[in-house]
Protein backbone atom coordinates (compact mmCIF):
# COMPACT_ATOMS: atom_id res chain seq x y z
CA UNK A 1 0.00 0.00 0.00
CA UNK A 2 1.25 3.46 -0.88
CA UNK A 3 1.69 5.66 2.18
CA UNK A 4 -1.47 7.83 2.44
CA UNK A 5 0.70 10.91 3.00
CA UNK A 6 2.61 10.20 -0.21
CA UNK A 7 -0.68 9.64 -2.04
CA UNK A 8 -2.02 12.95 -0.74
CA UNK A 9 1.07 14.74 -2.02
CA UNK A 10 0.77 13.15 -5.47
CA UNK A 11 -2.94 14.05 -5.61
CA UNK A 12 -2.20 17.65 -4.62
CA UNK A 13 0.41 17.99 -7.36
CA UNK A 14 -2.06 16.67 -9.92
CA UNK A 15 -4.78 19.00 -8.61
CA UNK A 16 -2.46 22.00 -8.85
CA UNK A 17 -1.31 20.92 -12.31
CA UNK A 18 2.39 20.94 -11.45
CA UNK A 19 4.08 20.37 -14.83
CA UNK A 20 6.07 17.14 -15.24
CA UNK A 21 9.78 17.82 -15.14
CA UNK A 22 10.37 16.30 -18.58
CA UNK A 23 8.20 19.01 -20.15
CA UNK A 24 10.46 21.80 -18.91
CA UNK A 25 13.79 23.19 -20.03
CA UNK A 26 16.52 22.62 -17.45
CA UNK A 27 16.53 26.21 -16.07
CA UNK A 28 12.75 26.08 -15.56
CA UNK A 29 12.97 22.66 -13.94
CA UNK A 30 15.64 23.90 -11.54
CA UNK A 31 13.58 26.94 -10.55
CA UNK A 32 10.47 24.81 -9.95
CA UNK A 33 12.45 22.34 -7.81
CA UNK A 34 13.90 25.15 -5.69
CA UNK A 35 10.52 26.83 -5.25
CA UNK A 36 8.61 23.62 -4.50
CA UNK A 37 10.93 22.51 -1.73
CA UNK A 38 9.41 24.92 0.79
CA UNK A 39 6.08 23.08 0.63
CA UNK A 40 7.50 19.66 1.50
CA UNK A 41 10.67 20.22 3.52
CA UNK A 42 10.80 20.86 7.28
CA UNK A 43 12.15 24.10 8.69
CA UNK A 44 15.93 24.24 8.50
CA UNK A 45 17.38 23.38 11.92
CA UNK A 46 20.22 25.44 13.33
CA UNK A 47 23.72 23.94 13.04
CA UNK A 48 26.70 25.04 15.12
CA UNK A 49 28.65 26.22 12.07
CA UNK A 50 27.90 26.58 8.35
CA UNK A 51 30.66 27.66 5.94
CA UNK A 52 30.63 28.40 2.23
CA UNK A 53 33.73 26.98 0.53
CA UNK A 54 35.13 26.19 -2.91
CA UNK A 55 37.03 23.10 -3.96
CA UNK A 56 39.90 23.63 -6.38
CA UNK A 57 38.67 27.17 -6.99
CA UNK A 58 35.68 26.04 -9.05
CA UNK A 59 33.26 23.74 -7.16
CA UNK A 60 30.96 25.47 -4.64
CA UNK A 61 30.59 23.65 -1.31
CA UNK A 62 28.75 24.11 1.96
CA UNK A 63 30.23 22.68 5.16
CA UNK A 64 27.98 21.92 8.14
CA UNK A 65 29.67 21.31 11.50
CA UNK A 66 27.41 20.26 14.39
CA UNK A 67 30.15 20.67 17.02
CA UNK A 68 33.70 21.85 17.59
CA UNK A 69 36.76 19.63 17.49
CA UNK A 70 37.89 17.09 14.91
CA UNK A 71 34.86 15.40 13.35
CA UNK A 72 34.17 12.61 10.89
CA UNK A 73 32.84 13.80 7.54
CA UNK A 74 30.06 12.88 5.13
CA UNK A 75 30.66 14.27 1.62
CA UNK A 76 27.09 14.63 0.30
CA UNK A 77 25.99 14.73 -3.34
CA UNK A 78 22.46 16.02 -3.91
CA UNK A 79 19.83 14.35 -6.06
CA UNK A 80 18.02 15.79 -9.06
CA UNK A 81 18.81 13.62 -12.06
CA UNK A 82 22.20 15.31 -12.58
CA UNK A 83 20.08 18.17 -14.00
CA UNK A 84 18.39 19.98 -11.09
CA UNK A 85 19.17 20.52 -7.42
CA UNK A 86 21.81 22.57 -5.61
CA UNK A 87 23.15 23.43 -2.18
CA UNK A 88 19.86 25.06 -1.17
CA UNK A 89 17.52 22.27 -2.26
CA UNK A 90 19.35 19.86 0.05
CA UNK A 91 20.25 22.30 2.82
CA UNK A 92 17.69 20.91 5.26
CA UNK A 93 18.62 17.24 4.93
CA UNK A 94 22.33 18.07 5.28
CA UNK A 95 21.60 20.00 8.46
CA UNK A 96 19.48 17.14 9.78
CA UNK A 97 22.16 14.56 9.05
CA UNK A 98 24.89 16.68 10.62
CA UNK A 99 22.99 17.30 13.85
CA UNK A 100 21.69 13.77 14.27
CA UNK A 101 24.90 11.94 13.32
CA UNK A 102 27.45 14.20 14.98
CA UNK A 103 29.36 14.23 11.68
CA UNK A 104 30.34 17.21 9.60
CA UNK A 105 28.60 17.25 6.22
CA UNK A 106 30.15 18.73 3.08
CA UNK A 107 27.50 19.39 0.41
CA UNK A 108 28.73 19.55 -3.18
CA UNK A 109 27.36 21.79 -5.95
CA UNK A 110 28.69 19.70 -8.82
CA UNK A 111 28.21 20.74 -12.45
CA UNK A 112 24.80 19.93 -13.93
CA UNK A 113 23.58 18.59 -17.26
CA UNK A 114 22.76 19.27 -20.02
CA UNK A 115 25.29 22.09 -19.93
CA UNK A 116 27.88 19.69 -18.52
CA UNK A 117 27.37 16.10 -19.62
CA UNK A 118 28.81 12.87 -18.21
CA UNK A 119 31.34 12.53 -16.66
CA UNK A 120 31.56 16.17 -15.47
CA UNK A 121 29.57 15.47 -12.29
CA UNK A 122 31.73 12.42 -11.55
CA UNK A 123 34.90 14.45 -11.97
CA UNK A 124 33.63 17.17 -9.60
CA UNK A 125 32.57 14.70 -6.93
CA UNK A 126 35.88 12.83 -7.02
CA UNK A 127 37.77 16.13 -6.91
CA UNK A 128 35.75 17.34 -3.92
CA UNK A 129 36.26 14.12 -1.98
CA UNK A 130 40.00 14.38 -2.54
CA UNK A 131 39.92 18.07 -1.57
CA UNK A 132 38.24 17.14 1.71
CA UNK A 133 40.91 14.58 2.49
CA UNK A 134 43.71 16.94 1.48
CA UNK A 135 42.32 19.84 3.53
CA UNK A 136 41.12 17.74 6.46
CA UNK A 137 43.22 19.55 9.05
CA UNK A 138 42.00 22.99 7.95
CA UNK A 139 38.39 21.76 7.92
CA UNK A 140 38.64 20.10 11.32
CA UNK A 141 38.05 16.67 9.78
CA UNK A 142 39.46 13.25 10.66
CA UNK A 143 40.81 12.11 7.29
CA UNK A 144 40.49 8.46 8.35
CA UNK A 145 36.72 8.83 8.85
CA UNK A 146 35.38 10.22 5.57
CA UNK A 147 32.17 8.84 4.05
CA UNK A 148 30.35 9.64 0.83
CA UNK A 149 26.61 9.71 0.35
CA UNK A 150 23.74 11.09 -1.64
CA UNK A 151 20.19 10.60 -2.82
CA UNK A 152 19.09 9.48 -6.30
CA UNK A 153 21.65 10.87 -8.78
CA UNK A 154 23.73 11.73 -5.74
CA UNK A 155 23.59 8.10 -4.64
CA UNK A 156 24.89 7.14 -8.06
CA UNK A 157 27.76 9.61 -7.69
CA UNK A 158 28.58 8.40 -4.17
CA UNK A 159 28.80 4.79 -5.37
CA UNK A 160 31.07 5.85 -8.23
CA UNK A 161 33.33 7.89 -5.94
CA UNK A 162 33.65 4.94 -3.56
CA UNK A 163 34.89 2.74 -6.41
CA UNK A 164 37.23 5.43 -7.75
CA UNK A 165 38.76 6.07 -4.33
CA UNK A 166 39.31 2.36 -3.75
CA UNK A 167 41.06 2.17 -7.11
CA UNK A 168 43.21 5.16 -6.14
CA UNK A 169 44.25 3.44 -2.92
CA UNK A 170 42.43 5.90 -0.64
CA UNK A 171 39.51 3.88 0.63
CA UNK A 172 36.61 5.63 2.30
CA UNK A 173 35.03 4.71 5.62
CA UNK A 174 31.38 4.37 4.51
CA UNK A 175 28.90 4.98 1.68
CA UNK A 176 25.30 6.13 2.18
CA UNK A 177 23.24 5.35 -0.93
CA UNK A 178 19.69 6.71 -0.77
CA UNK A 179 17.47 5.34 -3.59
CA UNK A 180 20.48 5.48 -5.93
CA UNK A 181 20.40 5.30 -9.70
CA UNK A 182 22.78 2.42 -10.27
CA UNK A 183 22.18 1.14 -13.81
CA UNK A 184 21.73 3.65 -16.65
CA UNK A 185 20.18 0.95 -18.83
CA UNK A 186 17.04 1.27 -16.67
CA UNK A 187 15.93 -2.31 -17.30
CA UNK A 188 15.04 -3.51 -13.79
CA UNK A 189 11.38 -4.62 -13.34
CA UNK A 190 10.54 -1.70 -11.02
CA UNK A 191 11.10 0.70 -13.91
CA UNK A 192 7.99 -0.78 -15.49
CA UNK A 193 6.07 -1.54 -12.31
CA UNK A 194 6.54 1.95 -10.82
CA UNK A 195 7.14 3.93 -14.01
CA UNK A 196 3.92 5.96 -13.88
CA UNK A 197 1.98 7.69 -11.15
CA UNK A 198 4.58 8.09 -8.40
CA UNK A 199 6.27 11.45 -9.17
CA UNK A 200 9.44 9.98 -10.73
CA UNK A 201 8.22 8.53 -14.02
CA UNK A 202 9.72 6.70 -16.96
CA UNK A 203 9.49 9.95 -18.96
CA UNK A 204 11.35 11.96 -16.34
CA UNK A 205 14.04 9.29 -16.03
CA UNK A 206 14.52 9.37 -19.81
CA UNK A 207 14.74 13.18 -19.62
CA UNK A 208 17.41 13.10 -16.90
CA UNK A 209 19.42 10.35 -18.58
CA UNK A 210 19.19 12.13 -21.92
CA UNK A 211 20.57 15.28 -20.35
CA UNK A 212 23.39 13.58 -18.47
CA UNK A 213 24.43 10.66 -20.68
CA UNK A 214 23.10 11.52 -24.15
CA UNK A 215 25.44 8.99 -25.78
CA UNK A 216 23.76 5.61 -25.26
CA UNK A 217 27.08 3.83 -25.78
CA UNK A 218 28.17 5.28 -22.41
CA UNK A 219 25.28 3.80 -20.42
CA UNK A 220 27.40 0.74 -19.67
CA UNK A 221 30.40 2.79 -18.48
CA UNK A 222 30.74 1.91 -14.78
CA UNK A 223 30.92 5.62 -13.93
CA UNK A 224 27.34 5.89 -15.21
CA UNK A 225 26.29 2.40 -14.07
CA UNK A 226 28.29 1.32 -11.02
CA UNK A 227 26.36 -1.95 -10.97
CA UNK A 228 28.40 -2.86 -14.07
CA UNK A 229 31.80 -2.16 -12.50
CA UNK A 230 34.18 -5.05 -13.17
CA UNK A 231 35.24 -5.30 -9.53
CA UNK A 232 33.10 -4.49 -6.48
CA UNK A 233 35.44 -6.05 -3.92
CA UNK A 234 36.95 -4.17 -0.96
CA UNK A 235 34.52 -1.26 -1.03
CA UNK A 236 33.51 0.67 2.10
CA UNK A 237 30.57 -0.56 4.19
CA UNK A 238 27.26 0.65 2.82
CA UNK A 239 23.71 1.50 3.73
CA UNK A 240 21.46 1.20 0.68
CA UNK A 241 18.00 2.68 1.22
CA UNK A 242 15.20 2.31 -1.33
CA UNK A 243 11.49 3.08 -1.67
CA UNK A 244 8.88 0.53 -2.65
CA UNK A 245 7.05 2.70 -5.20
CA UNK A 246 10.24 3.99 -6.84
CA UNK A 247 11.25 3.02 -10.40
CA UNK A 248 14.82 2.74 -9.04
CA UNK A 249 13.86 0.33 -6.26
CA UNK A 250 15.05 -2.91 -7.88
CA UNK A 251 18.42 -1.62 -9.08
CA UNK A 252 19.14 -0.37 -5.58
CA UNK A 253 18.46 -3.86 -4.25
CA UNK A 254 20.54 -5.38 -7.05
CA UNK A 255 23.47 -3.18 -6.05
CA UNK A 256 23.13 -4.04 -2.36
CA UNK A 257 23.14 -7.73 -3.30
CA UNK A 258 26.13 -7.27 -5.64
CA UNK A 259 28.08 -5.49 -2.91
CA UNK A 260 27.26 -8.27 -0.45
CA UNK A 261 28.22 -10.99 -2.93
CA UNK A 262 31.58 -9.25 -3.36
CA UNK A 263 32.21 -9.57 0.37
CA UNK A 264 31.36 -6.04 1.50
CA UNK A 265 29.40 -5.15 4.63
CA UNK A 266 25.98 -3.89 3.51
CA UNK A 267 22.75 -2.92 5.21
CA UNK A 268 19.68 -2.72 2.98
CA UNK A 269 16.42 -1.07 3.97
CA UNK A 270 13.36 -0.54 1.79
CA UNK A 271 10.63 1.85 2.88
CA UNK A 272 8.00 -0.22 1.12
CA UNK A 273 5.21 2.40 1.15
CA UNK A 274 7.30 5.31 -0.11
CA UNK A 275 8.02 7.15 -3.35
CA UNK A 276 11.26 8.36 -4.88
CA UNK A 277 12.51 11.56 -3.29
CA UNK A 278 10.63 11.15 -0.03
CA UNK A 279 13.58 11.63 2.33
CA UNK A 280 13.56 15.41 1.86
CA UNK A 281 9.77 15.67 2.37
CA UNK A 282 9.58 15.57 6.16
CA UNK A 283 7.05 18.39 6.37
CA UNK A 284 4.40 16.23 4.68
CA UNK A 285 5.66 12.62 4.95
CA UNK A 286 6.41 11.36 8.45
CA UNK A 287 8.49 8.40 7.27
CA UNK A 288 10.97 10.86 5.75
CA UNK A 289 12.00 11.90 9.25
CA UNK A 290 12.30 8.25 10.25
CA UNK A 291 14.55 7.62 7.25
CA UNK A 292 16.81 10.59 8.04
CA UNK A 293 17.11 9.45 11.65
CA UNK A 294 18.01 5.95 10.47
CA UNK A 295 20.68 7.24 8.10
CA UNK A 296 22.14 9.45 10.80
CA UNK A 297 22.21 6.61 13.34
CA UNK A 298 24.03 4.31 10.93
CA UNK A 299 26.48 7.09 10.04
CA UNK A 300 27.20 7.79 13.71
CA UNK A 301 27.96 4.13 14.31
CA UNK A 302 30.00 3.64 11.13
CA UNK A 303 32.16 6.73 11.67
CA UNK A 304 32.81 6.47 15.39
CA UNK A 305 36.48 6.55 16.41
CA UNK A 306 38.38 3.28 16.45
CA UNK A 307 37.93 1.57 19.80
CA UNK A 308 34.96 3.73 20.78
pLDDT tier, 308 (very low <50, low <70, confident <90, very high otherwise): low
Q: What is the average per-residue pLDDT within 56-72? A: 97
Summarised one tens digit per residue, pLDDT across range 65-120 is 999 999 999 999 999 999 999 999 999 999 999 999 999 999 999 999 999 999 99
Phi, psi of 103, rounded to the nearest 5 degrees: -100, 150
Domains, the chain, with CATH or none: 4-302 (3.40.50.1820)
Report pTM: 0.98
Per-residue pLDDT at 156: 99
Q: Which residues are catalytic?
A: 152, 246, 276
Q: What is the average per-residue pLDDT within 8-14? A: 96
Summarised one tens digit per residue, pLDDT across range 251-284 is 999 999 999 999 999 999 999 999 999 999 999 9
What is the arrangement of strands in the sheet containing 104-108, beginning at the earlier edge strand? 49-55, 59-65, 104-108, 71-77, 141-151, 174-178, 238-243, 266-271
Mean pLDDT of the chain: 97
Summarised one tens digit per residue, pLDDT across range 208-243 is 999 999 999 999 999 999 999 999 999 999 999 999
Q: Which run of H or E residues covers position 218? A: none
Amino acid sequence: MLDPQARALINLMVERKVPPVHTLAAPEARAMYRDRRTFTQPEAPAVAEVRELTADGTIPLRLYRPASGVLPLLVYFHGGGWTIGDLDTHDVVCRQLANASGCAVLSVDYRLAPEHVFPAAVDDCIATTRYARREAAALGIDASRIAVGGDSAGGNLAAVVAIAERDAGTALAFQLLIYPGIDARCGAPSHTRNGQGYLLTADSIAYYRGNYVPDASQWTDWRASPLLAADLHKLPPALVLTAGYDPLRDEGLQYADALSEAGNRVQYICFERQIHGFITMGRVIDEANTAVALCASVLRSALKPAGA
